[in-house]
Structure 1
């Protein structure tokens, strides 16, 4: 994606910007070290999914869950799951992964940690098996790039991002195609309520989601095929988004890569703050998932907009900037490039505040200028939508105008029925009309909008950046009291979104395992090595 890049319009001190990024790197570094020294049950399950293990038992519990649990109970996961699994296959315990998992579920197979030549043979076999899944991801990336060349991208930015989620994948498909025909460039299928807290991925096509549709491999495949059909019809490539977050973040990322999703919601702290998932579990899982996204050519969307639903959008504006800087650092360490960083921010200032629109412009311009090569994801008002659909429609128009004036990359369509009902198709059509009118009338304002050097907008942006640097300085300086990872202490203290999340608590902590010497995971080995862009696109 080539984001709209207005000429710099904020007189920011380059030294302050460099200082902010340097502090973000220092704050993130100990957390990266933790992620590199631990694994999780979901990382190990994702690795076996890359090797081709799929399917579920009669209760819809995936075979991969049964196999990882059996290995963990018998020999632990400290050395990785693949070595004992492929050792069992080489010893003739079962003819394939699926049969092995089925036998493990009933306790009819034994696992061990092999040594010497047997260990080397198991690792070679595992690398070959997992390599097939990575090859499938590479092929999906090449297919996307071929289809983009054939059908073309949207004629201009921002890309129009619209949510579809009825709970029934077979209802989602025609709604998604209709939305694309009405102008949507990105279709997001939000997940069923609570799926982020399931420690397994449901199997197959689903029709029973609640306020969303379950994220499954088959649902991914069905929706991607439907959008391919409408892309051909419209002559532009329509992108598909889902959520790589929660307790199965690495697995969902792997499935998304293999099924050619184009964007994934993937925030380094969202699951910690808003789903009470253990911080270490989250950081380990997000590093693996982002490495998958990097290889797959997937654009991530981060979740800074969520902070402003729990904290005040003016007082906490600097925490959004800090999170953006941290998300950028974690993403780049995992191999993502600038064009893949859909860093989040939102139009959530109380409209009753004097100069609220000017404040929104200052915050949006600050994000745009700090990350000039990133396709920023601009989120519509939700917190201050009252149920008055006429007021809401006007507020969404102001949001769209701010996006046009500040060169945002991905614009989520705001709904006037936000906080009232799940939007009808007619609501989406009216919302898209709002976007089209504003973009047709005002998209060129990025060339003309230059706030006065020392005016209200300039000074507000400088203030937010200065407060972000001060917060990062406090986080980094807290090493003595926080131990090795002061960012974890800041999260525990409620620094972000007013949510206090200690590192020794939270859902999924029991699924975190410290790696032993000799830990082996062929997916991580390949992903750590990196894949040159040319190789992935051949």
Structure 2
């Protein structure tokens, strides 16, 4: 993904030690995730099997069905056996069964013997059919990229739309693509991460964003396909797989051919107070879906620097990146799918702030040379002075050019003032185009002195990261999160939202989607990355 010109010569032994420590810290979390299921993981299976729609009150049928199953037999056995056994016994399809369950007209039990074998077989066939749709979308993405082409080189220019109304988002997204955006991100409605259900249908009212729904995904993907065909380059679509419905939203993304998903292992814990165990169980399943779908994940380390100092807490970003890398690869994601996050958030009034930003960005690029790092623009120190903001965004773009970032989020000079207008986005894209045209290959000539300020700072942050990882290995990842290690947020393992939706798996637990995803998927031959 990056060439040697974009890399520092870091101590190889220290880098290897950092990855070993990240694996040691992450292994107990993976075992925890393997040993538990959640309501959203089970609902994701029902969505893969084709259950969609909602009742008159707007409650999705997947919620209605799972709630009934859970009430009768619990969650610890999984939904597959009781649901498919009931379908066989009643002759109903999934929708009909959900409707009967909602009205209390059907009861669920755990089948045994031949009935259990039959339920396993039928549920596995349904899960395979859903994953076949995901696989078909992955192949279609590759086909369309080969037909239309894509943005030459890196970074991909990433631009946000967020009106709250999907039918307003669409023309803004198409206009942004025509102006040069390579990736369109539809910001999710504020608070959706706290909903333990996924709304249904096209939505026209959101708060600082648009609801993530299957229909909204479908509409935006179709619109960007139309624009991609006109432009002669494939425009990628991003949304959010986070919060209480992370596995379901990841599943819907695979079913509707989204290309990137924001999917951080700790964001929901730290910034939405979602229970850590719930989050880690859900994120493992969601990342397995993303691996299967060929979706690039974007992690959320930039958020730490909105609450913690970007210099003092720089090592926590690196540690989180290493943990995100471990969790992602354990779930089957490959290097080209790891949009690890970091940000330009150092106080610009600090002496040498630009050199510090360069050091941190080069450290990330050097640690993860094959990952399409996601470089985030300044937000915390944007003051409302749009001229100063435009200058800061230009410096941010320059760091992106110098350090070979893979995904560059377009900074807005009106950040912290208003929701940007199309004209604001045009100016922001002009800023990116100027810097990339004028300095895009400057990295060829940029070689920090081995013992200079930038290289020394990078080694210092790496060493501090190793020290922190050693403490996390001693204390445990859950305790580190509880102690406020990341983003200064204290989140105990027995607190937060969603813990009541977690269950330890019984010995006879069965989920055919999890079983099939666990087997993994090699990238199809000829896939475009």
Question: Counterpart of 2:346 in 1: which secondary structure?
Answer: coil
Q: 8 Å contact 1:242–1:263 — kept in the other structure?
A: yes
| CA distance in 2 between partners of 1:406 and 1:533 (Å) | 28
Q: CA deviation at 1:533?
A: 2.1
Q: 8 Å contact 1:136–1:258 — kept in the other structure?
A: yes
Residue 483 of structure 1: aligned partner: none
Residue 58 of structure 2: aligned partner: 60
Q: 8 Å contact 2:6–2:365 — kept in the other structure?
A: no
Residue 228 of structure 1: aligned partner: 225
Q: CA deviation at 1:306?
A: 0.1
Residue 154 of structure 1: aligned partner: 151
Residue 261 of structure 1: aligned partner: 258
| CA distance in 1 between partners of 2:158 and 2:238 (Å) | 9
Residue 90 of structure 1: aligned partner: 88
Residue 47 of structure 2: aligned partner: 49
Residue 187 of structure 2: aligned partner: 190
Q: CA deviation at 1:350?
A: 0.2
Q: 8 Å contact 2:6–2:362 — kept in the other structure?
A: no
Matches within 5 A, 1:349-368: 349-368=346-365
Q: CA deviation at 1:156?
A: 1.8
Matches within 5 A, 1:169-184: 169-184=166-181
| CA distance in 2 between partners of 1:53 and 1:152 (Å) | 35
Deviations 1:460-489 (A, max 9, x none): 0000000000000111122xxxxxxx0000
Matches within 5 A, 1:313-324: 313-324=310-321
Matches within 5 A, 1:8-407: 9-92=7-90, 94-407=91-404
Matched, 1:519 2:509: yes
Deviations 1:433-478 (A, max 9, x none): 0000000000101211100110000100000000000000111122
Deviations 1:277-320 (A, max 9, x none): 00000000000000000000000000000000000000000000
Residue 438 of structure 1: aligned partner: 435
Q: CA deviation at 1:5?
A: 2.6
Q: 8 Å contact 2:236–2:259 — kept in the other structure?
A: yes
Q: 8 Å contact 1:6–1:406 — kept in the other structure?
A: no
Q: CA deviation at 1:9?
A: 4.0
Matched, 1:415 2:405: no
Q: 8 Å contact 1:165–1:212 — kept in the other structure?
A: yes
| CA distance in 2 between partners of 1:102 and 1:189 (Å) | 32
| CA distance in 1 between partners of 2:194 and 2:277 (Å) | 16
Question: Counterpart of 1:403 in 2: which secondary structure?
Answer: helix
Residue 480 of structure 2: aligned partner: 490
Q: 8 Å contact 2:5–2:447 — kept in the other structure?
A: no
| CA distance in 2 between partners of 1:446 and 1:370 (Å) | 17
| CA distance in 2 between partners of 1:445 and 1:368 (Å) | 16
Q: 8 Å contact 1:309–1:348 — kept in the other structure?
A: yes
Question: Counterpart of 1:7 in 2: which secondary structure?
Answer: helix
| CA distance in 1 between partners of 2:23 and 2:208 (Å) | 38
Q: 8 Å contact 1:4–1:158 — kept in the other structure?
A: no
| CA distance in 1 between partners of 2:120 and 2:443 (Å) | 54
Q: CA deviation at 1:23?
A: 0.1
Range moving further from structure 2, 259-268 or 127-136 = 127-136
| CA distance in 2 between partners of 1:146 and 1:454 (Å) | 47
| CA distance in 1 between partners of 2:382 and 2:258 (Å) | 31
| CA distance in 2 between partners of 1:409 and 1:219 (Å) | 27
| CA distance in 1 between partners of 2:428 and 2:527 (Å) | 37
Question: Counterpart of 1:433 in 2: which secondary structure?
Answer: helix
Q: TM-score, normalised by structure 1?
A: 0.97
Runs of 5+ consecutive residues of structure 2 not aligned to the other structure: none
Runs of 5+ consecutive residues of structure 1 not aligned to the other structure: 479-485
Q: 8 Å contact 1:67–1:104 — kept in the other structure?
A: yes
Q: 8 Å contact 1:61–1:200 — kept in the other structure?
A: yes
Matched, 1:503 2:489: no
Q: 8 Å contact 1:379–1:412 — kept in the other structure?
A: yes
Deviations 1:230-268 (A, max 9, x none): 000000000000000000000000000010000000000
Matched, 1:460 2:457: yes
Deviations 1:406-442 (A, max 9, x none): 0000000000000000000000000000000000000
Q: CA deviation at 1:99?
A: 0.7
Q: 8 Å contact 1:267–1:303 — kept in the other structure?
A: yes
| CA distance in 1 between partners of 2:399 and 2:39 (Å) | 43
RMSD of aligned C-alpha atoms?
1.1
